[in-house]
Amino acid sequence: SMLEIRNLVKEYKAKGGVAVRALDGVSLQFAETGMVFLLGKSGSGKSTLLNLCGGLDTPDEGEIIIKGRSSKDFTQADFDSYRNTFIGFIFQEYNVLDEFSVEDNIALALELQGKNKNREQVLAILRQVEMEAFASRKPNTLSGGQKQRVAIARALVKNPEIIMADEPTGALDSNTGKQVFDTLKKLSESKLVIVVSHDREFAEIYGDRIIELKDGKIISDVSKSHVEARKTSENLRFIGDNTVSVQNGAALTDADMRNIRDFLTRSQGNVFITNGAKEITDFRKAAHIDENDARETFLDTKEQPALPAYDPANAKFIRSRLPARHAIRIGASSMKLKPIRLLFTILLSLVAFTMFGLFSTFTFYNEKDVLYNTYLTSGYDTIRFEKQYNYVTVTYENGEETYRSSYVNTERTPFTPEELNQLQKTYGDGLGIFDYSTDGNSYNSMSISNTYASKQQYYVSTLYGFAELPADYSRWQDLLVTDTDLAALGDKDVVISTYLFDSLKESGLQDNDGKKIPLNAYQDIVGKTLQISTSGSNLEVTVKGVFRYDLPQEFDDLKENSSNDYSLQDKFSKTLRNGIYLTPLVSPAFYEANKTAAASAQTYFETAYLETPLTIAFQNDGNEESAQYSGLAAYNAATKENVHLVGGRTTLAEDEIVLDVYRAFNVLGYLLFESFDKSDFDPVLHDFNNCMNILQNGTYWDYETQNTVAASAAVREQAFALFDALYQAAVDTGESNVSLTVIDPAGNTSTFTLAGFYFNYSNSDPIFAQSTFDSLVASFGFENSRWEKETNYVVPADAKYCAAVFSFPSDTRLLRSAVDGSNVVAEDDSFYILASPLSDSVSQATDMLQSLQTIFMWVGIVMAVFSMLLLFNFISVSITNKKKEIGILRAVGARSADVFKIFFSESAIISGICFVLAMIATFVTCFFLNQTFMDMIGASILVFGPISWLILFGIAAVTSFIATFLPVLSIARKKPVESIRAL
């Protein structure tokens, strides 16, 4: 037979754990055609049997044999295909898809079989169920009966060999129900129609076979048979023993009338005579009389040996294939359900994706490319190399390493002549800049002191070092605007830039007598002296010429003193610092000749922090006073710290002490100062406080003008002499004013003599001779904590150029190699940088990008997780809302893959929208960031390119896949019957 079931068993585990045997070993064979009714009370197992037969559910035991193929070999996909190929399902609840028109509902079943939508075919099917006129209507505009007929049409369109209907008329009134049964009956002429019903009357009228179930078992299985009517004449037929049929339009003979009279006598029944056509049809049905006037009665279904056998090889299954556009349509329809949640999901994903978009864009940012490009368009005529090295700070306590900083510090360091030479070989004849500073952290600031202060920020009369001319200085010779021979530059001669000339002209240069030198033409400054004061001492140089070197016009705004464009000011100071505006050209002999005079190098006293504070007691005007010090320093004549020892001495004895200027004066005493004859000294020194202040920092309070005023150098010198004289007076009194008592932790005292004072020094700890320092530190115990720079770099002894300045390379490859080589750390931890406002800005931009990148990454990840959860939730909700559709589709024959398709379409639409919006958002953000960078460094630096698009796309795809896969997996894995049961 086409369909056979053998020994089907199905048990359900109820919630309480009690197993219900819904089907208990049912075996049946079905013929090719005919209408089979499954009859039985509610709960008898009818639906279970039908579902198993239709492959909506799988049996616990037994098998289904379809055209010779046994379900024992079926996978879930095979069950789906079996249904898709052979079975048309009709349910009680009609179950048509509401978002599809009547026509499309039917076409969908066709398409699920991989067949093309054929409108003619669809309309023909609708005609069969008399629904052609409603083809383009939406199901919710139809009545129940009409919907059920649509459902029948949908079952039919696949041209299935079997139609299964579970209580198809259960929700219909009896008249409409009859129409449905009529339709099914007609179909059963060419198909096997299996109908579940609990209505015995209908079963007997329409059924060719009635199988009755009780408690999961077949209790009767009967087939309709026809008992021929007894014909007494052409006019009369006697059907069974209680019905007589009179031929339509017949004129009854006397014999006929006799036969009727006999029949009535025999049957003793009531007589019902009618000629209404309708009533006759109804009567026939009610009385089970077929159109040939044969009496229908049900007899036990016999084994049907005549049923043909099937070769399983010929039972071809068709796998369902839900066309993408339907999947999208169904998927998209549920997006309307929760608009607010959808909006949130989209917004959150949009932010997440945009973060990732920016993150990936930043990943492709290449600092070197950007630097190179900005240099190319900078219009600079020089490039400047500076050298730096990396170090890590390590702290030691009592010789043990206790802390190592996790970050790398960078410090300036000079180039050696050899290094300058190497650079010159590559980049041409450039200038070696030196500023006599050996302290990597600070520039040696050199101000030109014989000028007045400029009132405009544009004009600056400070030097940032000197530029040593190379062997071939023709380029610089060409730039001269004065009649100067660079070959004849002496070792105290300089050639200044036109910018510096302008500055000096604006500020006003003074001659040795303090008179203003008129500067009109460049030549006017030739031969004039510049007094250069460094933090070390003073240097006098002679200007021998001027070379053309002007500031870019963009800084002209700073000539208006009111300018508060801080970014311009910042760029201005960097431009001055990195250019050669303030570095006069000098001959190679200059460096050595002025080294001592200009050097600012400071070596500091060795200092120590004491565990126990040191107490110093002294007499101040007859009163015992004391001071506590937590640290001390060791005297070293080689340092350039400001120490004054009485009598011009340069060594300190073991029992001598140096205090800060204020304490030293207090030790000598105010009373002594007052009684001292100060007539030889300038009147401002007659005031105790002014005297101390002049020594400390060179200023005093002018009581007349109520102002702090700088003392002249002469007055300052007098102040030192006054201190010495006062000191001598104290010694002469013999009152030991200059004696101090140092008390050690054990309470022992030792006496020290004041030997001088120090000034202009931020520390106020006392200074001792080295040996005293060592023994005091030993007895007081000191916090032996010091830090060291740990680095492979050692400053070479001959290192002297803090920068090297070259003509801007005309060969772009040279520029590129300069850019590429910059910031590449060598084995000795050193590297060179290209110093310019540009590289500062570019590295600022890089820093900014790097921190933004990290932020974007983390925000992106967090947002992505949240948006994934939201999408997960959103898809879960639409799955809940789509259970019905899924059930219908599964019943019609859709596979789990088709279910996936629906929800992947949905999430693909959502994440597609997010992707597109994120693309736009990333583009816009990059655009604005680029504008910012354009202001910062004069170049746009972010390119949101195809690879970033791909990355963004990938992230959108992956997040939506994960968020969709999990919720859909559970629904797609469900047996179709579970989805349908949810209907």
- Kindly tell me which of 48 and 243 has the beta carbon lying closer to ligand ADP: 48
Shortest distance in whole angstroms from residue 165 CB to ligand ADP: 12
Residue 810 touches which of Mg ion, ligand ADP, none (Cβ within 5-8 Å per kind): none
Cα–Cα distance for residue pair 695/681, rounded to 1 Å: 14
How far is Cα of residue 111 from the mean position of the Cα atoms in its chain? 43
| Binding segment (CB under 6 A) for ligand ADP, from list 40-48, 88-96, 544-552, 697-705 | 40-48
Cβ–Cβ under 8 Å, residues 94 and 171:
yes
| Binding segment (CB under 6 A) for ligand ADP, from list 38-46, 232-240, 420-428, 473-481 | 38-46
Q: Please count the residues of this chain forming the interface with ligand ADP, following the rule CB under 6 A.
A: 12
Residue 20 touches which of ligand ADP, Mg ion, none (Cβ within 5-8 Å per kind): ligand ADP
Residue 207 touches which of Mg ion, ligand ADP, none (Cβ within 5-8 Å per kind): none
Q: For residue 196, give Cα distances in angstroms to 51, 53, 86, 178, 899.
A: 11, 12, 18, 15, 28
- Kindly tell me which of 50 and 500 has the beta carbon lying closer to ligand ADP: 50
Give the residue carrying structure tokens 């005579």. Answer: 273
Cβ burial 69-81 (10 Å sphere, 16+ → b, else e) = bebeebeeeebbb
- Kindly tell me which of 22 and 489 has the beta carbon lying closer to ligand ADP: 22
- Kindly tell me which of 51 and 450 has the beta carbon lying closer to ligand ADP: 51
H-helix or E-strand spanning residue 830: strand 830-834
Candidate list 2, 37, 44, 97; residue touching ligand ADP; CB under 6 A: 44
CA atoms within 13 A on the CB side of 761: 24
Cβ–Cβ under 8 Å, residues 64 and 136:
no
Q: DSSP of 642-671, one letter per residue? A: -EEEGGG-----TTEEEEEHHHHHHHH-HH
- Kindly tell me which of 47 and 444 has the beta carbon lying closer to Mg ion: 47
Shortest distance in whole angstroms from residue 40 CB to Mg ion: 9
- Kindly tell me which of 14 and 746 has the beta carbon lying closer to ligand ADP: 14
Residue 45 touches which of Mg ion, ligand ADP, none (Cβ within 5-8 Å per kind): ligand ADP
Strand intervals (E) in 416-459:
431-434, 446-448
Q: Which of residues 21-50 bind Mg ion (CB under 5 A)?
A: 47
Candidate list 25, 29, 43, 297; residue touching ligand ADP; CB under 6 A: 43
Residue 306 touches which of Mg ion, ligand ADP, none (Cβ within 5-8 Å per kind): none
Of 334, 70, 234, nearest to 907 by C-alpha is: 334
Candidate list 3, 5, 30, 40; residue touching ligand ADP; CB under 6 A: 40
- Kindly tell me which of 789 and 883 has the beta carbon lying closer to ligand ADP: 883
SS3 content of the chain, % helix, strand, coil (to 5): 45, 25, 35
Angle, helices 76-86 vs 883-892, to 10°: value is 70
Q: Please count the residues of this chain forming the interface with Mg ion, following the rule CB under 5 A.
A: 1
Residues 535-574: x where in contact with ligand ADP by CB under 6 A, - otherwise, as a string: ----------------------------------------
Residue 88 touches which of Mg ion, ligand ADP, none (Cβ within 5-8 Å per kind): none
Q: Is 594 in the site for Mg ion (CB under 5 A)?
A: no
Cα–Cα distance for residue pair 436/414, rounded to 1 Å: 10
- Print the SS3 string covering 766-782: CEECHHHHHHHHHHHCE
- Kindly tell me which of 197 and 737 has the beta carbon lying closer to Mg ion: 197
Instruction: Kindly state the greatest CA–CA separation across the chain.
Output: 181
Cα–Cα distance for residue pair 344/873, rounded to 1 Å: 12
- Kindly tell me which of 11 and 411 has the beta carbon lying closer to ligand ADP: 11
- Kindly tell me which of 48 and 333 has the beta carbon lying closer to Mg ion: 48
- Kindly tell me which of 198 and 329 has the beta carbon lying closer to ligand ADP: 198
Candidate list 16, 17, 18, 42; residue touching ligand ADP; CB under 6 A: 42
Residue 858 touches which of ligand ADP, Mg ion, none (Cβ within 5-8 Å per kind): none
Shortest distance in whole angstroms from residue 46 CB to Mg ion: 5
Give the contacts of 513 (CB within 8 A, at least 6 positions apart).
none
- Kindly tell me which of 135 and 977 has the beta carbon lying closer to ligand ADP: 977
Give the residue carrying structure tokens 């079997």. Answer: 162
Query: What tokens does 966 get?
Result: 């999990």
CA atoms within 13 A on the CB side of 143: 8
Give the residue carrying structure tokens 């030293």. Answer: 664
- Kindly tell me which of 47 and 416 has the beta carbon lying closer to Mg ion: 47
Shortest distance in whole angstroms from residue 220 CB to ligand ADP: 15
Tell me, what amino acid is at 737? N
Strands 192-197 and 34-40, sheet pairing: parallel
Candidate list 34, 45, 160, 976; residue touching ligand ADP; CB under 6 A: 45
Residue 14 touches which of ligand ADP, Mg ion, none (Cβ within 5-8 Å per kind): ligand ADP
Q: For residue 205, give Cα distances in angstroms to 28, 220, 243, 669.
A: 22, 17, 17, 136
Question: Sheet of 236-239: strands edge to edge?
Answer: 230-231, 236-239, 243-246
Q: Which of residues 3-32 bind ligand ADP (CB under 6 A)?
A: 12, 14, 20, 22
Tell me, what amino acid is at 203? A
Residue 698 touches which of Mg ion, ligand ADP, none (Cβ within 5-8 Å per kind): none
Cβ–Cβ under 8 Å, residues 509 and 519:
yes
| Binding segment (CB under 6 A) for ligand ADP, from list 42-50, 481-489, 548-556, 848-856 | 42-50
- Kindly tell me which of 79 and 581 has the beta carbon lying closer to ligand ADP: 79
Q: DSSP character for 301?
A: P
The per-type count for the chain, helices as H runs and strands as E runs, is 28, 40
Residue 44 touches which of Mg ion, ligand ADP, none (Cβ within 5-8 Å per kind): ligand ADP
Q: DSSP character for 289?
A: B
Residues 47-66: x where in contact with ligand ADP by CB under 6 A, - otherwise, as a string: xx------------------
Give the contacts of 213 (CB within 8 A, at least 6 positions apart).
26, 38, 39, 40, 44, 45, 46, 49, 219
Shortest distance in whole angstroms from residue 346 CB to Mg ion: 43
| Binding segment (CB under 6 A) for ligand ADP, from list 35-43, 70-78, 704-712, 956-964 | 35-43
Cα–Cα distance for residue pair 73/75, rounded to 1 Å: 7
List residues binding Mg ion (CB under 5 A).
47
Binding stretches for ligand ADP (CB under 6 A): 12, 14, 20, 22, 40, 42-48
